[in-house]
Chain A
Amino acid sequence: MKLSNVVDNLSLEVKTGKGNLQNNVTGVYISDLLSDVMGNSKEGNIWITLQTHLNIVAVAGLKNLSGIIIVGNRQLQEDVLQKAEAEKITVMSTPLPAFEIAGKLYQLLNQ
């Protein structure tokens, strides 16, 4: 499934990296521990997290993730948005908590 389908179906707000929306989503990884994401996420995964600091951009870039969904309407600092834009990382935002957005995503990807 393309990232753009996920964005449309889940009403995500795309904060950065709008140029990547045609990329394929290979699955989803949920964790707020960055080493866990480094170790266990797979290329093309969407990463669901509540972390909003700069290091999420490096993790997503190094692991070639298809995007990051920030849950619970957590706000991102301007420096994080700039870095994500520069590194072409798609950062998306939802007001939903992790469990709910994960449930919707699970249904969508298993249709």
Chain B
Amino acid sequence: MDEIIEGNFQIIGGNFANAGEASMQMKAKLMELGVDEATIRRAAIATFEAEMNVIIYAAAGRLHYYITPHNITIKIEDMGPGIEDIEQAMQEGYSTAPDWVREMGWGAGMGLPNMKKNSDEFKIDSVVGEGTTVEMIINFS
């Protein structure tokens, strides 16, 4: 594989029914390319958690992935409330999710930590009232 492969997805806030669509398509693409299983697993976990965050917290967002022969970059930009204290949000177990989201088994404060744990590079920027951008790079082994 020597070409660059990209994908773009719109994610609508509150649309739990379509959650995982971007991750599943990306996973299928990585499998098609013969990327090793451990890397696919990390990319799928990180991307799904990112999708869920947009669905749970934002009005809408966009997910873009970019595959080179060496790695995959996943970038998620949302129009959400933004995160006031990123350090706190990165702590395992910290969550601002409402009760009804917690009843679904989300909002356990594991999303951002899971994303970071499964990425080789993890960048997060947020502006309160505007939105949050996350960029993750996962290297192929």
Interface residues of A (CB under 8 A from B): 31-36, 38-39, 43, 49, 51, 53-55, 57-59, 61-63, 79, 87
Contacts and interface: CB of A to CB of B under 8 A. Distances in A.
Nearest to A62: B44
Interface stretch (B59-67, B76-84, B110-118, B132-140): B110-118
18 contacts: A33-B106, A34-B104, A34-B105, A34-B108, A35-B108, A35-B110, A35-B111, A35-B114, A36-B108, A36-B110, A39-B45, A51-B104, A53-B104, A54-B19, A55-B16, A55-B52, A57-B20, A62-B48
Interface of B: 16-17, 19-21, 23-24, 27, 37, 41, 44-45, 48-49, 52, 104-106, 108, 110-111, 114, 117
Contacts of B23: 58, 62
B-side interface mostly: helix
Given A34-B52, A43-B37, 15 more contacts: A33-B105, A33-B106, A34-B104, A35-B110, A35-B114, A36-B110, A38-B114, A39-B117, A51-B105, A53-B104, A55-B52, A58-B19, A58-B48, A59-B20, A87-B24
Nearest to A54: B17
A59 B16 CA distance: 12
Contacts of A79: 17
